[in-house]
Structure 1
Amino acid sequence: MPLFQHQKLDLYNSLSGKKEQFKPINEGHVGMYVCGPTVYSNVHLGNVRTFMSFDMIFRYLKHLGYKVRYVRNITDAGHLENDADVGEDKITKKARLEQIEPMEIVQRYTVDFHNILNIFNFLPPSIEPTATGHIIEQIELIKNIIDNGFGYVANGSVYFDVHKFNETHDYGILSKRKLEDLIHNTRELDGQSDKKNPQDFALWKKAEPQHIMRWPSPWSDGFPGWHLECTAMSTKYLGDHFDIHGGGMDLKFPHHECEIAQNQAAKGQTPVNYWMHANMLQLNGQRMSKSTGNIVNPDELLSGNNTFFSKAFAPSVIRFFNAQAHYRSVLDLTDDGLLSSEKGFYRLMDAINLLDELKTSETSSLDIKSWKQSCYDAMNDDFNSPILIANLFEAVKYINQIKEGSQTLNSEDLSLLKETLNVFTFDVLGLQNVTKTESGTDKLSATVNILIKLRQDARANKDFALSDKIRDELVEVGIQLKDGKEGTTFSLS
Structure 2
Amino acid sequence: MTKEIYIYNTLSRSKEKFESLTPGKVGLYVCGPTVYGDPHLGHARPAITFDLLSRLLRHLDYKVRYVRNITDVGHLENDADEGEDKIAKKAKLDELEPMEVVQYYTDRYHDYMQMLNVKSPSIEPRASGHIIEQQEVIKNILEKGYAYESNGSIYFDVKKYDQDFPYGILSGRKIEDLISNTRNLDGQSEKRDALDFALWKKAAPEHIMRWPSPWSDGFPGWHLECSAMSKKYLGEQFDIHGGGMDLLFPHHECEIAQSTVANGHTPAKYWMHNNMITIGGQKMGKSLGNFITLEQFFTGNHEKLEKAYSPMTIRFFILQAHYRSTLDFGNEALQAAEKGLERLNEAILNLDKISASTETTFSIEEFENKCYSAICDDLNSPILIANLFEGVKHINNLLASNLKISAQDLDHFKNLMKLFVNDILGLTQEGKADSGADSKLDDVMNLLLQLRSDAKANKDWGTADKIRNELQNLGFVVKDGAEGASWELK
* TM-score, length basis structure 1: 0.87
For 1:160-309, what aligned pairs fall within 5 Å after superposition?
160-189=156-185, 193-288=189-284, 294-309=290-305
The 1:336–1:213 alpha-carbon spacing in structure 2 relative to 1, beyond 3 Å, is same
CA contact (8 A) 1:304 1:491 kept: no
Give the superposition deviation at 1:80.
Answer: 0.5
Give the superposition deviation at 1:479.
Answer: 12
Amino acid at match of 1:239: G
Give the superposition deviation at 1:285.
Answer: 3.8
Which residue in the other structure is 2:109 paired with?
113
Amino acid at match of 2:394: Y
Q: Secondary structure of 1:364's partner?
A: coil
Q: Secondary structure of 1:229's partner?
A: helix
The 1:61–1:88 alpha-carbon spacing in structure 2 relative to 1, beyond 3 Å, is same
CA contact (8 A) 1:303 1:491 kept: no
CA distance in 1, matches of 2:434, 2:10: 40
CA contact (8 A) 2:296 2:481 kept: no
Which residue in the other structure is 2:137 paired with?
141
Which residue in the other structure is 2:360 paired with?
364
Deviation readout 1:216-246 (Å, 9 max, x if unpaired): 1111110000000000001110000100000
The 1:88–1:190 alpha-carbon spacing in structure 2 relative to 1, beyond 3 Å, is farther
Amino acid at match of 1:213: M
Q: Does 2:311 align with 1:315? A: yes
Deviation readout 1:410-444 (Å, 9 max, x if unpaired): 01111111001111101111111238x8898xxxx
Which residue in the other structure is 2:6 paired with?
10
Amino acid at match of 1:278: N
Q: Does 2:390 align with 1:406? A: no
CA distance in 2, matches of 1:186, 1:352: 56
Amino acid at match of 1:302: F
CA distance in 2, matches of 1:492, 1:398: 42
CA contact (8 A) 2:27 2:64 kept: yes
Give the superposition deviation at 1:313.
Answer: 1.1
Q: Secondary structure of 2:223's partner?
A: helix
The 1:105–1:385 alpha-carbon spacing in structure 2 relative to 1, beyond 3 Å, is same
Which residue in the other structure is 2:451 paired with?
none
Structure with greater Cα Rg: 1
The 1:160–1:344 alpha-carbon spacing in structure 2 relative to 1, beyond 3 Å, is same
Give the superposition deviation at 1:182.
Answer: 0.6
CA contact (8 A) 1:303 1:492 kept: no
CA contact (8 A) 1:138 1:232 kept: yes
Which residue in the other structure is 1:455 paired with?
none
For 1:473-488, what aligned pairs fall within 5 Å after superposition?
none
What percentage of aligned pairs have identical amino acids?
A: 55
Q: Does 2:389 align with 1:393? A: yes
Which residue in the other structure is 1:466 paired with?
none
Q: Does 2:329 align with 1:326? A: no
The 1:18–1:308 alpha-carbon spacing in structure 2 relative to 1, beyond 3 Å, is same
CA contact (8 A) 2:148 2:156 kept: yes
CA distance in 2, matches of 1:293, 1:200: 28
Match of 2:375 among 373, 376, 379: 379
Q: How many residues align?
A: 444
Which residue in the other structure is 1:150 paired with?
146
CA distance in 1, matches of 2:284, 2:186: 29
Unaligned runs of 5+ in 2: 436-477
Amino acid at match of 1:198: A
Give the superposition deviation at 1:188.
Answer: 2.6
CA distance in 1, matches of 2:422, 2:66: 20
Amino acid at match of 1:408: K
Q: Does 2:125 align with 1:129? A: yes
Deviation readout 1:73-124 (Å, 9 max, x if unpaired): 0000011101101111111111111221111111111111111101111100
CA distance in 1, matches of 2:65, 2:362: 39
CA contact (8 A) 1:305 1:491 kept: no
Q: Secondary structure of 1:136's partner?
A: helix
Give the superposition deviation at 1:317.
Answer: 1.0
Amino acid at match of 1:336: E
Q: Does 2:333 align with 1:337? A: yes
Give the superposition deviation at 1:309.
Answer: 2.0
CA contact (8 A) 1:86 1:191 kept: no
Amino acid at match of 1:159: Y
CA distance in 1, matches of 2:481, 2:376: 46
CA distance in 1, matches of 2:68, 2:359: 48
Q: Secondary structure of 1:33's partner?
A: strand
Deviation readout 1:348-383 (Å, 9 max, x if unpaired): 000000111101111100100111111100011100
Give the superposition deviation at 1:292.
Answer: 7.0
Amino acid at match of 2:114: N
CA contact (8 A) 2:138 2:199 kept: yes
Give the superposition deviation at 1:295.
Answer: 2.7
Provide the aligned C-alpha RMSD in A: 2.0
CA contact (8 A) 1:326 1:384 kept: yes
Give the superposition deviation at 1:305.
Answer: 1.0
Which residue in the other structure is 2:468 paired with?
none
